[in-house]
Amino acid sequence: MNNEGVGAASVSAQSSQRMSAPQGRSALNYIFAADQLRGRDIIGIEQLTKEELLLVLQVALDLKQNKFDGTQTQFSKGQTLAMLFEKPSLRTRVTFEAGMTQLGGNAIYLEGQLGLRESVPDVAKNLDRWLDGIMARTFDHDTVLQLAANANIPVINGLSDREHPCQAFADFLTLQESKGKLDGLKLAFIGDGNNVVNSLMLFAAKIGMHFSIACPPGYEPVKDLWELTLEIAKGTGSKIVLTHDPVEAVKDADAVYTDTWVSMGQESETEKRVKDFNGFQVNAELMAKAKQDAIAMHCLPAHRGYEITDDILDGKQSVVFDQAENRLHAQKAVIALTL
């Protein structure tokens, strides 16, 4: 579906100007009236405005705080979401499937590489005739684009090699809850400039938050998205920094984030990557260089003893499992606003 030409209402992460609900009805009814993202594809943070990003966060927070409000079961009542998986999954599968159930809908799990048995456009055209939405977790970002181009129902990027927008929504929701605000915060990422980084840096730049990444030479974020992030930051006041020094990156950081050094599909590079990322571990020594109240973040699964140590992952500074929990609420917000 086409993402262009759709307006957005002005909201903030702290207080949104909600559309008024009918007298005596749940306050969550304003979500029914929010049409900024209705019928839209969620391909990446790249395509969304600041107002749209903050709207998703506000809805996710409201859904979380009102989890047992019966109104929620009406958002996707009678609707079905196709979940296409080319990669194994714990958090993405469980949170999308549980999210659809809690919103009153259903989810169908389909596993296997797309484009082998039949073309991606043909898959999209079939699902479009039967269902109400598609979530795809793929290797190649072009697969998500092909699904969106050939389906008239919303397509949600559950992860691709270019972006991981659903993870970013959960992460910024966690930051908002942990710090009570997003304005003025600095998020530091230590490790590979991968799909998670691409979504995080774009999100930070669009809302005016500061972002730094420390990675070994040759592991920088994809060039076009990095340049886009820098361009966006010029208009929002966001400070975006790329360095090869982890200590420089975490200086004055409110949150220190890391991810696996070896993503799925890169297993043959394990030995080289472990060597290249020596010195880029998030541990007590590095966390001590950030702000005293800095939080530690990881999108999971974690390789303990490699990119992060046990004492940090399981320690008082960790919000790692808060991030995992918030995948559910962020997914529900995306579903409620698009389907």
Q: Which residues are catalytic?
A: 137, 164, 167, 259, 299, 327
CA distances to 186, 191, 245, 280, 300 from 249, rounded to whole Å, are 10, 11, 6, 11, 21
Residues 6+ apart with CB under 8 A from 233: 205, 239, 240
Q: What count of other Cβ atoms lies within 10 Å of the Cβ of residue 283?
A: 16
Strands, E assignment, 191-317: 210-214, 240-243, 255-258, 295-298
Burial 172-181 (b: 16+ CB within 10 A, else e): bbbbbebbee
Residue 334 to residue 286: CA distance in whole angstroms: 35
CA distances to 11, 195, 202, 245, 315 from 220, rounded to whole Å, are 32, 11, 14, 13, 29
Alpha-helix residue ranges (DSSP H) falling in 66-119 = 91-102
What end-to-end distance do the CA atoms of the chain give, in Å? Answer: 13
Residue 277 to residue 257: CA distance in whole angstroms: 15
Please give the distance of CA 121 from its chain centroid, rounded to a whole number: 25
Quote the tokens at residue 46: 């790249």
Question: Which stretch of DSSP H or E encloses residue 120?
Answer: helix 120-130
Instruction: Indicate the DSSP class of residue 89.
Output: -
Residue 38 to residue 230: CA distance in whole angstroms: 29
Quote the tokens at residue 200: 């995080």
Instruction: Indicate the DSSP class of residue 315.
Output: S
